[in-house]
Structure 1
Amino acid sequence: MLKRKAGNGGIGVDTDAFYRDAGWSLVRRVRRPGRDAEVEPWGLAPPHLHPHARAYLERAFPQGLYRHQMAAVREAIGGNSVCLATGTASGKSALFFAAGIHILSQRYKARVLAMYPTRALGREQAERWRDAFRKAELPFTVGVIDGGVPRPSREDILMQHDVIIMTPDVVHAWLLPSLGSKTVRIFFQHLRLVVVDEIHTYTGVMGTNSAFLFRRLAHAAHVLGSGFRIVAASATIENPSAHLEKLFGRAFVVIGPEQDTSPRHAVTFDFVEPPSGKDRLQAVAQLLRQIAISEGVRAIAFLDSRLQVEVLGSILQRADDLDEANLEAHMDDMLASGILPYRSGYEERDRAAIQEGLTTGKLCGVVSTSALELGMDIPNLDVAVLVGVPQLQTSFLQRIGRIGRHRPGRVIVVHSGTAADDAIFENPTQLFDRPLTEAVLYLEHPRAQYIHALCLASMGGEHDLALNLPYGDSEEFELADVVSWPEGFAEICQAERQNRPPRDLEWMKIEAGGNPHHTYHLRDVERQFTVEMRSLSDISRLGRVSYSQALREAYPGAVYRYMGRSYRVTGVYTSSNRIEVRPERQYYTRPLTVQPKLYPRLEPERGDRVWRAREGWMAECEILVWEAVTGFVERRGSAKHEFSYPLMHHLDLRDVYYASSSFQRYYKTHGVVFHHPAFQGAERLSELAELLLEAFSFVVPFDTQDIGVGIGRWAAEGRHGSKADSVHFIALYDRVYGSLHLAARIMEDGVLARVAEQMSRFRTFRHHRAFSSPGLAEVADAWMASLREPATLERAEVAVSESQNSSEDKVRVILPGSVGYAIKAGREYEVRDVFYTPKGLQYRGIYRNDRDHEDCDVQLEAHMVDGIPGVTRYGWYDLNTGLVTEGG
């Protein structure tokens, strides 16, 4: 247990003394002034506000409401869909509770659906809803339905409660596919209000999928003869009105930060650099311990890396051994450590324990990823430590928003050693003036559209369930006009209704197997692994990781970290989406990876584009990516002697619990390929690619895990089919399976020139790594000069696609003996035979480099295997004779 000492006034931490004694450098100090509260008296409340709602508000806010709260309540009870987009801890929840009480009191049997983006936030807010009903002296009840609630109990909860709290995931995976239930249909018929919190989180993959989900929700209510208004809350984002209309398909009244009159105390910002020559996480741990032992001071620290959060958590806990496997038995000891790690992917029991520790004060701090940017209530925070400047301005505002609410606070921004941090530390005041983050949705994305067409419009889908139609009934289908629908979605729904899926997406229909709601999740378009620790009597779940996270954190043999504890990965089972682990000492592993292999594929008919620069060109196109972990480096020893750890190199994963020599995946995505004549023969071109990525992330902020960069050689065909010499390229691409065209934003007006300027600027900063190749600086200068000039859009025939059309009698196939990749498994697949069955064309082959299955044939439908550009050899399968000939 950390022993806390009395403070010295203020927030109780003498940071200047700590910086001096521990060797830290205070680069800049900026003080942001506080703000007095402004309230509007109850005489200004709208007269048609229901007395029960007014009673709640008067008891909760006896002095009156802040101006933004009063404006939002006025719009909501006036019948508008409204969003309150003000700062963290500015009292946004009052809008939800007032609007809910007003609706429930006004309409007999009315129901409210409150959607929160995480289970932990939803369960916390359930108690706040109940407290609001108690203040109003009303008998309304609150039920929670999330992934932790057994399915047999869900309909009873839906029937028995007035307010139902759900995550969007449960609405997608359970509520809408249960429209065949009378209880669910009755709920929709009485649904009058939908509450949606944390709107700013609905961006990227999750936001795009949720935009369709909200429309499907409105469609179901309309079909069942009802309708609802929406009240929402968001952190401050760029152009919230446009984002809300795109997200929900309806217009909103937005109450923005200019009307925010909630109080704030002064906050001091320290921009600091840790001691040189000392490990950064060790130094941050020392800083957090200093804060933790100060009486009455509570802190939160943010890092962008899940792994760094876990490592820092383990340093703070000083946990060298794990004697027992049961995490619950260790929870008291872990809470006693004073500061715990927190990230997405934790089990419900562990999130709840951390949340309780923070709320009750048993914990004096937490180290988190962006997971705690959401509105979970952490009272009386005094200090925020930001390890690195957040790329997104919304993230920055959310991370500091809880500081200074109850007394003056402090934010400590720790330089993370990047050129991007150099840019901010050079002039810290620009951090407060950066443009707000723009939420990004891609509603025209074909894969996203088809997922939701399968859910909504397929025979036996949500539309039919709502109408209680027998399967196969051919009643006319039409999308409800109560919301606007993305362009092209109606057509893809009609095609699905007629069982005519898009040819290039037909494999998704097969993969869904009649159950798209459970096959395709809202938050990810790639598979998820469950991490399990097995004993003779029990299975303990230790969170979930995506495929890309597994490549970084939970590959075979890795030391996987969970709540600061260490576990050895003893098995990765891609067929069952499981990862098995066992307890391990506090060792550290780092994956050995090979440079990703990138295979661009340019297809003009798909809308791919090519730009001509003064020298070279850029192509926006599909890219096949191969990533692999081939081994890992392991460090053992005391954390106090990090630089003298003994190294253990595992260069072949077959030595450590895996059947193949590498843990790998193929996936299709989208990106922009850059070529410049100076690239030909240049050494260490990957260093220039990293500079491009760093500059792009500064100009167009994004999640660091969503965009990748790499280099390669492209042996493209010429305009008339003649083979051209291979060209060296740098590619910026989406690391999201299927892509959301995030990297393509570099080709928006003016962005490319700004990125080139930022690349030049970064090279002047001291934290920019100097190019290791003497001639690379000249290559960089030539390329950046070309990027600064306007590019000319050309026809995409400068590099023709490999695709060829099949005829009525012949189908293009991968030749036996050649290699492609299995789309669903993401693994290299060697074709041994091609044959026809009543189900269609099939391949028989093997997964390459698989020791456990090297003699086992794997049969796959032909459309489930794709070629690797420049590697796969093609031929023709004659449907009449069954013969395969070369020449495809």
Structure 2
Amino acid sequence: MEISCLLNEIKASIRYENQIVHIEETPARDACYAPLELEVRIKAALSGTGIEALYSHQAEAIEKVREGKDLVLCTSTASGKSLTYMIPVFEAVLKDPEATSLYISPLNALVNDQLKAFLEFEGALNSGAGIARYTGALSADQKRKIRDGKTNIVFTNPEMVHMSFLAWHHLWRRFFSNLRFIVVDESHYYRGVIGSNMANVLRRLLRVAEYYGASPQFICCSATIGNPEDHTETLLGREAVVVENNGSLQGPQKFVFWNPPLYMNGRGCTVRRSSFSEASALFTRAVQAGLQTLAFTRSRQGVERMYRTCMELLRDRELPSAICPYRSGYFDREREEIERKMNSGELRGVISTNALELGIDIGGLDVCILDGYPGTVMSARQQAGRAGRSGNESLVLMVAGTNALDQYYMRNPADFFARSSENAVLNPKNPYILAGHLLCAAKEIPLRESDEKYFGGGYSRVVELLEAEGLLAGSDMKYSTDPFPYKQVSLRGIDNNTYSLLAFEGERSFPIEKDIEETLAFRECHPGAVYIHRGESFYINRIDHEKREIHAIKTHDSYYTKPMIDSSVVVQETYAAKPLLHAPEVEVGLGEVEVTDRIAGYRKIRTHSDETMSAHEIEMPPITLQTVALWLKLPDRLQEMIGDHKLDFAGGIHAVEHAIISMYPLHLLVDRSDVGGVSTPSHPDLGSKSGIFIYDGHRGGVGYAEKGYDLIEEVLELSLIHISEPTRRRGISYAV
């Protein structure tokens, strides 16, 4: 079915209530090619794979690489970024059969994709290059053969760089000595905690390579972000040039803004229908129309709930097996099987978290559905770019949720399309992160004072602290006293506290998921919770904190659960304070805080109606977080004024807190789950005045609070625009 026919059918259906508020039509774009001098064999190999000319951005990027510059290429999904490193890598091998290159991807699925592409190209080129994948799935013997053999090009992930290439660098002596290129694919992924960790991994990698006499170039490939040069230079610790003029072919696309309708609920309140139910209905309609469809939803359990709902809707039409869920937490073999089925066309639809946002090859998609605005313009464009990869017409449906930012864009669609992508933030100097990497670096090669050139300002201070704690020893050369410090560093989350989920059938148990982060485990896998995996419900009956195991049994309950969380914050140190520009009575602060979250209970919510069935109290250990926050210290006059109007002050500042968090991603490339908030009518650390805290959701902070402090006027201005609407309660507007 054609896209226009599908839209017409949707508009003609009885469920349509003018949900479409805007359609942005992007016309097809012709390819722009550019000449590039290529070695005869490479030109023939390209021709053999169907490539007769290079896009302009590919040619420009390769020229920059040939000039010896570190590079970041920022173009859209499916723009052929891989050729910009494939050609230089093979050129290096043709010139020097000993030359080596290291490709690093955040996902093993991308490792597999690129391995396949390189092997196909090598089949046409016949350069003699040894090409291999090096991941945790390999046996010890397979890994040894790659290290000891004549391997020129290795595809791997950050964890293997950290735990193998660096921890056992003496086994990679030949590879490091001849290292020409380090390819960092999907480099925009490296922001926040994973970005701060990856920046230190790359500094250690460069340090070891230079120890063996190599001087590798970096080639980074990124989605379009607001600060590609600054982000890349912070990630690499050195200068980089940016190539961002996209010359690739693009098919026409319709981008639909879909706002669920309002209705009167059972309590007589006007509410908006959930994005979940609307997105589920649109997904099943597109699948029924024979269009290959991908739906994105924000949470792992949201994926499971939508999959189960859509499976029930499609069962009557004998299509339930044509769709599948996809998210982190599944085992590698499960995810690879789903990717294979999607690529082959065996699956008509997949429901995913942002795990499929990156450039994994899953074939040509016709329709992409976003269950809620994904939080950033960059993510929305990345997800939308998954549709129409074959150059045909595609459809994107962004279904709005009820939060501030979703509704802001439904009212201001032109702002979405005019807005530049957000800035990506990372903080390699975070002392909690840097300390772990310095211990690893000291294990690799003893640390010297001159190593500050790799790790930057703050290096000496962290070294002193590690010495004081007895973790580093030595005088001019510092050694790690831990025989293997690598296990203490978790690249994707600062803490290593993860849980495994086990399903029990009588006396037997079997693993369902692994590496569930502590915070997620407490929120979604507490006793009494219903947890969904591959469409099946499991009742959590026990959590063993010593063994870090979650015990579950299958259930057929027709409800899901949501945690009730109590949060508190204590200011430990104030870094900076300033008056708010347009309201000097309000003091804006920035500093170190301790946040304590406690799961106080949970609600049972009926699956199909989203009505609360009951609430239950539970006892769970508290989770504490040492981090950085910004806060607004509010004047007494504000509380008195709102009290005079008989309005809810506590509810008003709580709504402002949520509005600020919702609007935060307009300025930074940050997921809404990366920042948290606490509001209180009276706080002892603010002189008993009322306050709103917005804190970085990662231990030690990764720069989100500092950026928010710098941009607080802009954040508040957009929050005010949203909550000053006539449909909002006046108390909230007064609070702002």
Normalising by the residue count of structure 1, what TM-score does the alignment of the two structures yield? Answer: 0.74
Q: What residue in structure 2 maps to residue 517 of structure 1?
A: 486
Q: Which residue of 2 aligns with 1:274?
A: 260
Q: For residue 757 of structure 1, what is the amino acid of its counterpart?
A: E
Q: Take 1:78 and 1:360, find their aligned partners in 2: how far apart are those partners?
A: 40
Q: Match of 2:578? A: 611
The correspondence for 1:666, drawn from 624, 629, 632, is 624
Q: How does 1:152-163 map to 2 (within 5 A)?
A: 152-160=141-149, 161-163=151-153
Distance 1:580 1:147 in 2: 26
> In the aligned structure 1, how far is the partner of 2:289 from the partner of 2:319?
17
Counterpart of 1:29 in 2: which secondary structure? strand
2:422–2:668 contact (8 Å) kept in structure 1: no
1:158–1:164 CA contact under 8 A, matched in 2 = no
Q: 1:270 to 1:99 in 2, by over 3 A?
A: same
1:462 aligns with 2:444: yes
What one-letter code is carried by the residue in structure 1 that aligns with 2:576? R
Residue 739 in structure 1 maps to residue 704 in structure 2:
no
- Where does residue 856 of structure 1 map in the other structure? none
Change (3 A) 1:402 1:591: closer
Quickly say closer, same or farther: Cα 1:19–1:280, change in 2 above 3 A: farther
Are 2:145 and 1:178 equivalent residues in the alignment? no
| 1:95 CA drift (Å) | 1.7
In 2, the alpha carbon distance for the partners of 1:335 and 1:541 equals: 25
Q: Secondary structure at the match of 2:597?
A: strand
Matched, 1:625 2:583: no
Cα deviation, residue 68, structure 1: 1.0
Give the Cα–Cα distance (whole angstroms) in 2 for the partners of residues 528 and 212 of structure 1: 22
Instruction: Label 1:765 to 1:367 Cα distance change in 2 as closer, same or farther (>3 A).
Output: farther
Is residue 304 of structure 2 the alignment partner of residue 310 of structure 1?
A: yes
Measured after TM superposition, the shift of residue 563 of structure 1 is: 2.6
1: CA distance between counterparts of 2:99 and 2:531? 47
Say which SS state the counterpart of residue 435 (structure 2) adopts.
helix
Tell me the CA shift for residue 291 of structure 1.
0.4
Distance (Å, rounded) in 2 between the aligned partners of 1:197 and 1:336: 35
Is residue 432 of structure 2 the alignment partner of residue 447 of structure 1? Answer: yes
SS of 1:552 mapped into structure 2: helix
Specify which of 540, 559, 581 is matched with residue 552 of structure 2.
Answer: 581
Matched residue type, 2:674: D
Q: 1:38 to 1:616 in 2, by over 3 A?
A: closer
- C-alpha displacement of 1:453: 0.9
**Residue aligning to 2:25:** 31
Query: Is 1:109 equivalent to 2:71 in the alignment?
Result: no
Matches within 5 A, 1:327-338: 337-338=321-322
2:542 to 571, 574, 580: 571
What is the CA-CA distance between 1:54 and the residue it aligns to?
2.9
Letter in 2 for 1:214: L
The residue type equivalent to 2:364 in the other structure is N
* Contact 2:293 2:349 (8 Å CA) reproduced: yes
| Matched letter for residue 711 of structure 1 | S
Contact map agreement 1:695 1:758 (CA 8 A) in 2: yes
Q: Secondary structure at the match of 2:585?
A: coil
Q: Which residue of the partner structure matches residue 379 of structure 1? A: 363
Cα distance in 2, alignment partners of residues 185 and 313 from structure 1: 48
Residues 534 and 540 of structure 1 are in contact (CA less than 8 Å); yes or no, is this contact kept in structure 2?
Answer: no
Q: For 1:399 and 1:516, locate their aligned partners in 2 and report how far apart those are by CA, in whole Å.
A: 37
Letter in 2 for 1:547: E
Q: Which residue, 373, 379, 383 being the options, matches 1:399?
A: 383
Q: 1:620 to 1:495 in 2, by over 3 A?
A: closer
Deviation, 1:402, is 2.8
Equivalent in the alignment of 1:293? 288
Q: What is aligned with 1:200?
A: 188
In the other structure, the counterpart of 2:220 is: 232
User: Corresponding residue for 2:159?
Assistant: 169
1:319 offset after TM fit, Å? 10
Aligned pair 1:529/2:522, yes or no? no
Match 1:341 to one of 325, 333, 337 = 325
Question: 1:123-182: CA deviations, max 9, x gaps?
Answer: 2221111111112134433222223224453222223332211101111122211124xx
Cα offset, 1:762, TM superposition: 1.1
Q: Distance in 2 between matches of 1:537 and 1:219?
A: 49
- Distance in 2 between the 1:145 and 1:767 partners? 56
Label 1:66 to 1:343 Cα distance change in 2 as closer, same or farther (>3 A).
same
| Alignment check: 8 A CA contact 2:589 2:630 kept | yes
What amino acid is the match of 1:274? P
Structure 1 contact 618–674 (Cα < 8 Å) conserved: yes
C-alpha deviation, 1:744, in angstroms = 2.8
Q: Please give the alpha-carbon distance, in whole angstroms, between the structure 1 residues aligned to 2:239 and 2:129.
A: 30
User: Against the structure 1 CA distance between its residues 494 and 98, is the aligned structure 2 distance closer, same or farther, given a 3 Å change threshold?
Assistant: farther
Residues 302-360 of structure 1 show CA distances to partners (whole Å, capped at 9, x for unaligned) of 22222222210111223999xxxxxxxxxxxx995222222222210111111011111
Q: Is the 8 Å Cα contact of residues 430 and 700 (structure 2) preserved in structure 1? A: no
Q: Match of 2:721?
A: 761
**1:351 is aligned to 2:317:** no
In the superposition, relative to structure 1, how do residues 31 and 141 fare at CA in structure 2: closer, same or farther (>3 Å)?
Answer: same
1:561 corresponds in structure 2 to 532
Q: What is the aligned length?
A: 702
1:847 maps to none
CA offsets 1:454-510 (integer angstroms, 9 cap, x no match): 1112xxx0115xxxxxxxxxxx835469x75321225534775797669xxxxxx99
Distance 2:81 2:100 in 1: 21
SS of the residue 2:6 aligns to:
coil
Structure 1 Cα separation of the partners of residues 670 and 725 of structure 2: 22
Q: Distance in 1 between matches of 2:340 and 2:322?
A: 13
Structure 2 counterpart of 1:262:
248
**What is the alpha-carbon distance in structure 2 between the residues aligned to residue 547 and residue 766 of structure 1?**
41
Which of 55, 71, 95 aligns to 2:60? It is 71
Q: 1: CA distance between counterparts of 2:593 and 2:674?
A: 15
Does the C-alpha gap of structure 1 residues 697 and 380 become closer, same or farther in structure 2, counting only changes over 3 Å?
closer
The answer to whether 1:249 aligns with 2:198 is no
- 2:414: which partner in 1? 429
CA distance in 1, matches of 2:675, 2:517: 16
Distance in 1 between the 2:71 and 2:664 partners? 34
Equivalent residues of 2:303, 2:325 under 8 A apart: yes
Native 8 Å contact 1:155 1:184 kept in 2? no
Contact 2:284-2:314 at 8 Å conserved across structures = no
Rounded to whole Å, the distance in 2 between the matches of 1:378 and 1:425 is: 30
CA distance in 2, matches of 1:109, 1:494: 41
Corresponding residue SS for 1:21: coil
Percent identity, please.
24
Letter in 2 for 1:489: Y
Match of 2:36 in 1: 45
2:712 to 742, 747, 752: 752
**1: distance between equivalents of 2:726 and 2:324?**
34
Gaps of 5+ in 1: 1-6, 322-333, 465-475, 503-508, 653-660, 717-723, 785-888
The residue aligned with 1:416 is 401
Compute the RMSD of aligned alpha carbons: 3.0
* Structure 1 residue 236: Cα displacement: 1.2
Q: Distance in 2 between matches of 1:363 and 1:12?
A: 22
Deviations 1:495-547 (A, max 9, x none): 75797669xxxxxx99x954331121111013222223355566323243212
Which residue type is aligned with residue 626 of structure 2? K
Could you tell me how far 1:289 is from its partner in structure 2? 1.0
Mapped to 1, the partners of 2:539 and 2:707 lie a distance apart of 40
1:616 Cα deviation (Å)? 4.0
What TM-score comes out, normalization by structure 2 length?
A: 0.88
